[in-house]
Amino acid sequence: MHELTTVELTKKFQKKTAVQGVSFTLTNGVCGLLGENGAGKTTLMRMLCGLLAPDGGQVLCDGEQIARLGGGYRRLLGYLPQSFGYYPNYSALRFLRYMAALKALPKTYADARIEELLALTGLSDDRDRKLKTFSGGMLRRVGIAQALLNDPQILILDEPTAGLDPKERVRFRNLLSSLGRNRIILLSTHIVSDLESIADHILMMQKGCLTASGSIPEILSVGKGYVWECRVSEREAAELEQTHVIANLRSQGDGVCMRIISREPPATGAVPAEPALEDAWLYVLNNEQNEEGGD
């Protein structure tokens, strides 16, 4: 089993700090990297893959700097970039053979592995179709298959669920949980529900910084005591929307049922609710913004 660690990892682009002093350790299992667009997820992942040199801090694999490990580290690694380039006129099979050759995998091993991966990603029947005829979800699956060619012990997937329809999401979730049992998987997303039933561990990233991390129960406990439900008039609802963080809202009869993130009870009759991952994320997001505003 391997251990992937970042220590005070930092990256600046000109004056813009994309990743700021990020430290964490990953072991086997699925870890979700959650952050809004521009939070620094892709930059962080590219540093983890050794594709981008940090301006500060280190990436360590089993205690050794990845730059020192070189090819030994790359052999452990599988990466699905956020937008991966492919040749539209290649068939799935030809593309995977091409990627296997780039990774310098022996031909007999590669051919057998490609068969396995086509089956694993549900693409066996589409192997001879040109990639330009594939749906977004199918292309993502081809991308995942290429990331798995070398049976990586560390799998880094940048927004792998983007463009997947609900059925494909379920399939992808099952694939990941079976893969995650004996390797490190880090996947990024800006969609909380993508992580709800996949991730063992969550890293929350905002404006380049890691603002929360932990197992799902640990992350949920962050929101404990700050989630409320209440039923109010439409007029009160409009006021609450101006002054509070609203997790959910739905009309019911002549009133509105609201789920609100707040340190104090937001309205008379508001009752505490059990936090869900979405609530914890909203709490962390807004908590940071409040502190920045210097309340």
Ligand X SMILES: Nc1ncnc2c1ncn2[C@@H]1O[C@H](COP(=O)(O)OP(=O)(O)O)[C@@H](O)[C@H]1O
| Whole-angstrom distance, CA of residue 165 vs CA of residue 163 | 7
**Does 42 help bind Mg ion (rule: CB under 5 A)?**
yes
From the list ligand X, Mg ion, none, pick the one residue 268 interacts with, judged by a Cβ distance below 5 to 8 Å according to partner type.
none
| Whole-angstrom distance, CA of residue 148 vs CA of residue 167 | 21
From the list Mg ion, ligand X, none, pick the one residue 38 interacts with, judged by a Cβ distance below 5 to 8 Å according to partner type.
ligand X
Q: Which is nearer to ligand X, 37 or 242 (CB)?
A: 37
- Binding residues for ligand X, per CB under 6 A? 13, 16, 18, 35, 37-43
Q: At closest approach, how far in Å is the CB of 38 from ligand X?
A: 4
CA 278 from centre of chain: 14
CA–CA distance from 277 to each of 116, 172, 206 (Å)? 34, 20, 16
Burial class (CB in 10 A: 0-12, 13-18, 19+), 71: exposed
Query: Which residues are 190's β-sheet partners?
Result: none
From the list Mg ion, ligand X, none, pick the one residue 206 interacts with, judged by a Cβ distance below 5 to 8 Å according to partner type.
none
- Binding letters toward Mg ion, positions 71-100, x by CB under 5 A: -----------x------------------
CB 284 within 8 A of CB 212: yes
Q: At closest approach, how far in Å is the CB of 180 from ligand X?
A: 21
Q: Which is nearer to ligand X, 199 or 227 (CB)?
A: 199
Q: At closest approach, how far in Å is the CB of 206 from ligand X?
A: 10
Q: At closest approach, how far in Å is the CB of 222 from ligand X?
A: 20
Q: Which is nearer to ligand X, 187 or 256 (CB)?
A: 187
**Nearest in space to 278 (alpha carbons), one of 261, 295, 290, 266:** 261
Query: Which residues are 256's β-sheet partners?
Result: 232, 251
From the list ligand X, Mg ion, none, pick the one residue 35 interacts with, judged by a Cβ distance below 5 to 8 Å according to partner type.
ligand X
In the chain, helix, strand, coil percent, each to 5? 40, 30, 30
**Does 189 help bind Mg ion (rule: CB under 5 A)?**
no
